[in-house]
Amino acid sequence: MYANANIKSEIKSERTDKLLQSESSERFTFKEKILEVIKRYPNGCPDSVLRSEISAKEVKDMANSINELLAEHRIDLLKSGNEIYYKFVSESAVVDSMMPLDPLEKLLYQLIVDAKNMGIWIGDLKTKSNIPHRRLMKVIRSMENRKMIKTYHSMAHSRKKVCVLYGLQPHPSIVGGSFFTDEMFDTEFLASISEYCLKFLKSKADSASHFPTFINRMNKRNATVEEVWQFLCNSKILNVNLSQIEVERVLENLVHDSQIEKKFENARPVYFLAKPLERNQGILHSPCLSCEIALDCVKGGTISPNTCQYFSDWLLDE
């Protein structure tokens, strides 16, 4: 009985090993496939081109493979405008970048690694390492040239320079998020995103205008931040991934510009076009005529025209 158990255990272990080897081999093959595509573009392969070269099934594994290639210093990550590029790194460059670190570099490198994507201010590096400023800057420049780290001017404190591990995406508080390119605010990109947000809200308003009752028209025109964000993601109009927080900032900017309006539903903000869906045409379009609780609505009561948002909107629309 014990012999059978051991045999089963060995068979199971052997199958597991083969499965792991197979997965490892597939990952290696896929990474090499990505490299072959990138090599065809000496000046950098656009992310959109790379995605078009691989199957839809492989896209989900692309991020992991790209991260591994970056960590192995086999490719570089570049950005021009809103487009991301991948550039092949020659073997000689890889060897140069992986040269043994001296004690000072090891110390600084570890401090930068510990800071993760928040990075570490050069002043803090100086304090924690106790390295003289001139020597510190020389080591930092050397590490930059070897593509071990990158330095950024902090958006929150423009006079501070922050060191981040090479290949790591800095926190938006450092580089300003998607609306900053080379540390400059990209007004054209903001205008483009704003336009698409307005188009989406207009489509919501157009669809809502076909509903027969005023209440439905008012409800169906609204959109949450998540809905707008999902529209932007699904429409594939962007070359960068906007966060919901960034989309909310765009919507708030449109509110301040009086292009859209904002109200709260179930404690969540919703947005809609500032322009009314239609002009009122008298009492026949009053929301009261299609309200299911109109009989319970009395002045001064729990349900009252004084506190009815739909009634207020209708009056304003008039």
What SS3 state is found at 76? strand
Confidence of residue 58 (pLDDT cuts 50, 70, 90): low
Residue 98: phi and psi, rounded to 5, are -100, 15
Residue 84: phi and psi, rounded to 5, are -100, 140
> What are 217-223's contacts with CB under 8 Å, separation 24+?
217/277, 218/287, 218/310, 218/313, 221/272, 221/273, 221/277, 222/263, 222/265, 222/270, 222/271, 222/272, 223/270, 223/271, 223/272
Tokens for 297, please give them. 């609505």
Residues 185-243 have pLDDT tens digits of 677 888 888 999 999 999 998 888 888 887 788 888 899 999 999 898 887 776 667 78
Matching CATH number, 99-176, of 3.30.470.30, 3.40.50.10490, 1.10.10.10, 3.40.250.10: 1.10.10.10
pTM for this structure?
0.42
The total of other beta-carbon atoms located within 10 Å of residue 110's CB is 12
Which residues share a beta bridge with 161? 153
Residues 265-287 have pLDDT tens digits of 888 899 998 865 454 455 666 77
So where are the chain's domains?
30-93, 99-176, 187-273, 284-317
Question: What CATH topology corresponds to 30-93?
Answer: Arc Repressor Mutant, subunit A (1.10.10)
CATH 2.50.20.10 fits 187-273, yes or no: no
Give the pLDDT score at 191. 86
